[in-house]
Amino acid sequence: MKTVVVVGASLGGLRSAQALRRQGFEGRLILVGEESERPYDRPPLSKEVLAGKWDAERTPLIRSDDDEPEGVDWELGRRATALDADARRVRLDDGRELGFDGLVIATGARPRTLPGLEGRPGVHVLRTLEDCLALRSALDASPRVAVIGAGFIGAEVAATCRGRGLDVAMVEALPVPLERALGATMGELVAQVHRDHGVELRTGVGVSEVLGGARVEGLRLADGSEVPAEVVVVGIGVAPNTDWLLGSGVEVGNGVVCDARCRTSVPGIVAVGDVAEWHNPLFDERMRLEHWTNATEQADAATAVLLHGDEAPAYAPVPFFWSDQYDRKIQFGGRAHPDDETVVVDGSIEERRFVMLYGRGNRLRGVLGWNRPRLVMKYRGMIREGVPFSEARSPA
């Protein structure tokens, strides 16, 4: 290959460019990014930056010459609009086309919104640095805040707003926060933590409309009740950015469909990060992960496949994510299922400082830790090694 184009200049795209150079690719390397900013770290946006503890200057992912991938042609502020896989060309929003021999799709995801709320004053999403700074500026006026959605972004925004001393209500259509990720019992524990910190938590109910005219005044919920607010944050998940691939021949499902080596349906094209849906042979499941760790690890795996083909190993990670809420660091490794057997092997749920294991068919499948980072990493390694659940469940 003489030219590789990486479409997407966030974490997955940057790590792909770095990995290509680290693995010996010496050809032309083009990195296309829709945002005008150089790559920056997203996890602090819902925490330190939104809280006002960090300035934007602390978020760049390229902090030294060692981080800078050598000889990259940056195309920032440019969006990919189409892909001609046969001609091996990517079309940009300014009409130019970039030819390639190899292509890394790292276009990430965009926040889901509620109908009719796009661009409405007082209604925010949180995905980009621009989103974060706009929301932070709105919070400086000490408004009442309503958060729609109690997933990771919604829960972290609610916690940060409470840390700023603001009145916060969080509305979730499911019975408990984070139910899909952690299960009902652990979701209820998250709910208790937020209530203990003064969040008005409304679960099991959806949102009918945003109240007010030119200025937001609150929410009307599906049960007819109202939640007053001057700022509304919508955190109801994300959708993978695949529209530009329509008609390209690249198969799209819940993201860009890949095999176990992150290869798409078109030879010479791989996908990484939030946009990639691939088969994980370790769990024998198709996955699309929206986590920082996955974007980093998958970039290494996918670029190795791009350069070395079948000589590169399949991508078979133990998924890992974390969430900081108040004084709790919640970490999870593996996969959880409602039918899993669970056991606490360290600490106690009552003191909110524990490690819980998830198992099925005598297989250790997941580990959840609250303020137990060292042990979570230990059990994540055991999941990777295939340690039986009966062996792993012995007290830590």
Q: How many residues does the chain have?
A: 396
Per residue in 200-210, pLDDT (tens digit) is 999 999 999 99
pLDDT digits (tens, 9 = 90+) for 201-250: 999 999 999 999 888 999 999 999 999 999 999 999 999 999 999 999 99
What single-letter DSSP state applies at residue 57? Answer: G
Q: What is the pLDDT of residue 394?
A: 82
**pTM for this one?**
0.95
pLDDT digits (tens, 9 = 90+) for 267-320: 999 999 999 999 999 999 999 999 999 999 999 999 999 999 999 999 999 999
Residue 294 CA to residue 323 CA, distance in Å, equals 15
Of the chain, the percentage scoring pLDDT greater than 90 comes to 92
**Helix (H) / strand (E) containing 192:** helix 184-196
3-state secondary structure of 214: coil
pLDDT at 116: 79
8 A C-beta contact, residue 164 and residue 139: yes
Determine which of 114-118, 152-156, 234-238 has the lowest per-residue pLDDT on average.
Answer: 114-118
Residue 261 binned pLDDT confidence (cut-offs 50, 70, 90)? very high
The residue written with tokens 């530009």 in the block is: 244
- ∠ at Cα 151 (145, 152), nearest 5°? 90
> pLDDT at residue 118 above 90?
no
Give residue-wise pLDDT tens across range 3-50: 999 999 999 999 999 999 999 999 999 999 999 999 999 999 999 999
* pLDDT greater than 80 at residue 74: yes
CA dihedral sign, ordered 306, 312, 316, 322: negative
Given the structure tokens 């091996």, which residue do they identify?
Answer: 88
Q: What is the pLDDT of residue 339?
A: 87
Buried/exposed code over 234-246 (b: 16+ C-beta within 10 A; e: otherwise)? bbbebebbbebbe
DSSP assignment, residue 81?
E
Domains of the chain, CATH where assigned: 3-110+239-311 (3.50.50.60), 113-234 (3.50.50.60), 327-392 (3.30.390.30)
SS3 169: strand
User: What confidence score (pLDDT) does residue 183 get?
Assistant: 85
Task: Give the count of beta carbons closer than 10 Å to the beta carbon of residue 91.
Answer: 16
Q: What is the pLDDT of residue 396?
A: 58
Task: State the chain's mean pLDDT as an integer.
Answer: 96
Across 325-344, average pLDDT: 93
